[in-house]
């Protein structure tokens, strides 16, 4: 937790805004790429080219003495993230950008559920209601029975689940591994996991397609870095609500650049999900603050 004396809310908001722009840029490039290159191959090439950013620490990784537990956690996370990334690339090329962005907000909800089921964390009534609200937001977006729910939408349901599992495993891995090692091992395991999937249906990419995927790797790496800067500068209660801007930009990008129109139900569902995630983040921050500071009567509910 960031002490109030060192927190810089304005800087945290700035870096989170930059992060959102980076990730919307990733979506725009993947949408531009289209469906000629299979999803698994496109994801593999993105991660393989992204390894160039980890060359400076590869020698350090080689000298590491990883325990069996660490290797198991890195392997499990790599498998979950591999599935999530492949499904995300599949969905991104087939459904509107706004739909992908809104449904991706479900990942923190699955992290909350997973922490309660597998880590023994308490799921209080208010957090449970927030989870229910987020799932309702997903139903608003999908509207089964009122619109056709295609393969892309189903892929995003599982994408959020697998990303949630990946983030939960990252939380466990960070207990005995540094953040640099966790991120680098993720890139290595996902690249290795995607390689056989890409080989099953390989299509020779053009130079233009490779350039687009390298741009995806650069923007994604930059987004993860600026997100880290945002988390260092300000608490999650400040930075989390800013992620809603990414949905706004995704809707505008889809409508203005890719002629996808604006679906008010997708926007409404996204707002419900973001609101639920922000509430859970705020509640967790309050509970964490109580564990490190004496109770104050004014803070009682």
Question: Does a structural domain hold residue 236?
Answer: no
* Torsion from C-alpha of 188, 79, 223, 133, nearest 10 degrees: -170
Q: Average of pLDDT values for 28-51? A: 92
Q: How many angstroms separate the CA atoms of 116 and 111, rounded?
A: 9
Identify the domain containing residue 294 by its residue range: 38-206+262-299
Residue 301 in this model has a pLDDT that exceeds 60 = no
pLDDT in tens, 232-270: 787 766 776 777 788 888 888 888 888 888 888 888 988
Q: pLDDT at residue 1 above 60? A: no
Residue 36 confidence (pLDDT) above 90: yes
Average pLDDT over all residues of the chain: 83
How does 182-194 read in b/e, with b if 16+ C-beta sit within 10 Å? Answer: bbbbbbbbbbebb
Residue 17 lies in a domain: no
Confidence at residue 150, expressed as pLDDT on a 0 to 100 scale: 84
Residue 70 vs residue 162, higher pLDDT = 162
pLDDT at 4 over 70: no
Q: From residue 121, how far is each of 52, 118, 277, 283 by CA, in Å? A: 38, 8, 17, 14
**Residue 199 in domain:** yes
The C-alpha angle 201, 207, 210, rounded to 5 degrees, equals 60
- Residue 107: partners with Cβ closer than 8 Å, 6 or more residues away: 160, 163, 164, 167
Residue 121 reports pLDDT greater than 90: no
80 neighbors 166 (Cβ within 8 angstroms): yes
Q: Which residues pair with 144 in a beta bridge?
A: 147
Q: Give domain status of residue 120, yes or no.
A: yes
Label residue 288 by pLDDT band (50, 70, 90). Answer: low
Confidence of residue 196 (pLDDT cuts 50, 70, 90): very high
The runs of H, that is alpha helices, within 201-243 are 207-233, 236-239
Domain presence at residue 43: yes
Q: Quote the pLDDT of residue 297.
A: 34
CA distances from 95 to 45, 151, 159 (A): 22, 9, 14
Tally of structural domains, the chain: 1
Query: Of 144-148, 186-190, 245-249, where does mean pLDDT reach its minimum?
Result: 144-148
Q: Looking at residue 2, what is its pLDDT? A: 52
Say whether pLDDT at 205 is over 90.
Answer: yes
- Residue 299: per-residue pLDDT: 33
pLDDT for 294 equals: 36
Res. 199: pLDDT tops 50:
yes
**Residue 63 domain-assigned (yes or no):** yes
Q: How far is CA 185 from the centre of its chain?
A: 17
Nearest alpha carbon to residue 84 among 124, 111, 52, 62: 111
pLDDT higher than 70, residue 131: yes
Residue at 86 is within a domain: yes
Report the pLDDT value the prediction gives residue 296, as an integer from 0 to 100.
34
- Has residue 131 been placed in a domain? yes
Coil, helix or strand at residue 110: helix
Q: Which tokens in the block code for residue 124?
A: 């209080």
């Amino acid at each position: 937790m960031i002490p109030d004396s060192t927190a810089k809310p304005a800087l945290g908001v700035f870096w989170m805004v930059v992060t959102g722009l980076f990730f919307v840029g990733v979506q725009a490039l993947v949408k531009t790429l289209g469906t000629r290159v299979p999803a698994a191959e496109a994801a593999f090439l993105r991660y393989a080219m992204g390894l160039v950013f980890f060359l400076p620490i590869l020698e350090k990784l080689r000298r590491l003495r990883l325990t069996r537990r660490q290797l198991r956690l890195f392997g499990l996370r790599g498998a979950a993230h591999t599935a999530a990334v492949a499904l995300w690339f599949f969905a991104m090329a087939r459904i509107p950008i706004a739909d992908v962005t809104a449904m991706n907000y479900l990942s923190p909800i699955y992290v909350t559920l997973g922490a309660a089921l597998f880590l023994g964390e308490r799921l209080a009534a208010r957090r449970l209601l927030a989870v229910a609200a987020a799932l309702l937001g997903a139903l608003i977006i999908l509207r089964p029975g009122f619109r056709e729910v295609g393969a892309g939408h189903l892929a995003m349901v599982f994408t959020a689940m697998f990303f949630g599992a990946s983030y939960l495993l990252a939380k466990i891995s960070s207990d005995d591994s540094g953040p640099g090692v966790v991120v680098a091992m993720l890139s290595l395991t996902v690249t290795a996991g995607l390689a056989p999937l890409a080989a099953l249906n390989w299509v020779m990419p053009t130079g233009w397609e490779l350039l687009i995927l390298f741009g995806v790797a650069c923007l994604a790496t930059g987004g993860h870095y600026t997100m880290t800067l945002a988390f260092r500068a300000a608490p999650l209660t400040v930075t989390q609500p800013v992620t809603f801007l990414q949905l706004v930009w995704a809707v505008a990008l889809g409508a203005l650049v890719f002629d996808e129109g604006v679906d008010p139900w997708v926007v409404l569902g996204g707002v419900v999900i973001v609101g639920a995630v922000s509430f859970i983040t705020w509640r967790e921050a309050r509970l964490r603050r109580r564990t490190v500071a004496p109770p104050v009567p004014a803070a009682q509910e």
